[in-house]
Amino acid sequence: MKEFDRARSDIELYKDLLEGVSDTRTLIELAEEENESSLEEEIKSNIFGLETKFGKVTFRLKMSGDHDRNSAIVTLNAGAGGTEACDWVDMLTRMYSQWAAKNSYRVSITDILPGDEAGIKSVTFIIEGDYAYGYLKGETGIHRLVRVSPFDSGGRRHTSFASCDVIPGLEDDIKIDINEGELRIDTYRASGHGGQHVNKTDSAVRITHKPTGIVVQCQESPSQHANKKKAMNMLKAKLYEFEKDKQRDATQRRYDKKGNIGWGNQIRSYVFMPYQMVKDHRTDTKVSNVEAVMDGEIDEFIQAYLDWRADELG
């Protein structure tokens, strides 16, 4: 049924595009025959709508990877910068959540570790919906913030860093065999928001895969059983990605590729002061409206990355 729904969605988008082209052509012919300038604005509006729909079609064609159509598991970690870096993780969490909402995706936080004074030290959340991973896979890397820190009484400019890791959520038809004897499962009290029950019982679950050292945590639900099930699904996704990396003869594991969470490794810089600019260092894409980017307007960076990646792969 999922495959059927996806195919139907693609076909409907294509049919809608063809019908739009036909309707717009009819309007243009009518305007020319009747010399009717009043139709100009409607024609312009139709063309703009067609360009947007055509962009969606070509965008999907660029995402032909094995798991581009899957949901995305996003993990953010604070790096150099102390409390300021924790606040930066909080800001990035909001940015991706806003982007997800604009695209009608569902976001569920599975694990969160608050900062000592403010913000978030680390957070993992799942963005569920078609193509979520395809859209966000290029967000993996170090994100750099430059601004006047609200936590600095002297009003000085600070530079902070956060790492972002994005892996695909697995479909139900992919099977990963896990030896229970290779797991260490710990339970603990949830540290984030979630009501009295979540905070007063050992409902949160941490699973460590001993052979690889991969650790996953989930505290989304007040039910320990539900958290364990979701954590196991996340572990399977990470193990699958780990094995895919080995098959690709990667010289380093995925989790080492981002480098240290600090200077020299950033993929994107978000500068609030002394000027306003968000720049992707891989594609050289620049956007001066920083506030819009932080409100989830990151499609320009996503599009540029997919184009750049396609060129890289030839």
Q: Are residues 43 and 118 in the same domain?
A: no
**How many DSSP H helices and E strands does the chain contain?**
9, 11
Q: Are residues 81 and 164 in the same domain?
A: yes
Tell me which of 32, 62, 92 is where a domain ends. 62
| 66: confidence class by pLDDT, cuts 50, 70, 90 | confident
**Domain count of the fold of the chain:** 3
* Cis ω for the linkage preceding 274 (within 30 of 0): yes
Q: Are residues 33 and 91 in the same domain?
A: no
Tens-place pLDDT, residues 228-278: 999 999 999 899 888 777 655 443 445 455 556 666 679 999 999 889 999
Q: Are residues 169 and 106 in the same domain?
A: yes
Question: Could you identify the residue written with the tokens 């978030």?
Answer: 120
Q: Are residues 156 and 269 in the same domain?
A: yes
In a domain, 67, yes or no: no
Q: Are residues 163 and 84 in the same domain?
A: yes
How many residues are given for the chain?
314
In the DSSP assignment, the letter for residue 136 is: H
Quote the domain boundaries for residue 148: 72-173+252-312
CA gap 110, 206 in Å, rounded: 11
This prediction has a pTM of: 0.73
CA gap 166, 97 in Å, rounded: 14
Q: Are residues 49 and 90 in the same domain?
A: no
Alpha helices per DSSP H over the chain:
2-34, 40-62, 83-102, 132-136, 196-200, 224-247, 254-257, 290-294, 299-312
Tens-place pLDDT, residues 144-176: 999 998 888 787 899 999 999 999 998 665 678
Exposed/middle/buried for residue 75 (C-beta within 10 Å: 0-12, 13-18, 19+):
buried
In the DSSP assignment, the letter for residue 269 is: E
CA gap 264, 259 in Å, rounded: 9
Residue percentage of the chain with pLDDT more than 70: 89
CA gap 232, 306 in Å, rounded: 30
Q: Kindly state the tokens that stand for 228.
A: 């364990």
CA gap 79, 86 in Å, rounded: 8
First to last CA, the chain: 34
Q: Are residues 167 and 262 in the same domain?
A: yes
Q: Are residues 147 and 257 in the same domain?
A: yes
Q: Are residues 16 and 93 in the same domain?
A: no
Q: Are residues 92 and 134 in the same domain?
A: yes
Q: Are residues 154 and 300 in the same domain?
A: yes
Tell me which of 39, 62, 85 is where a domain ends. 62
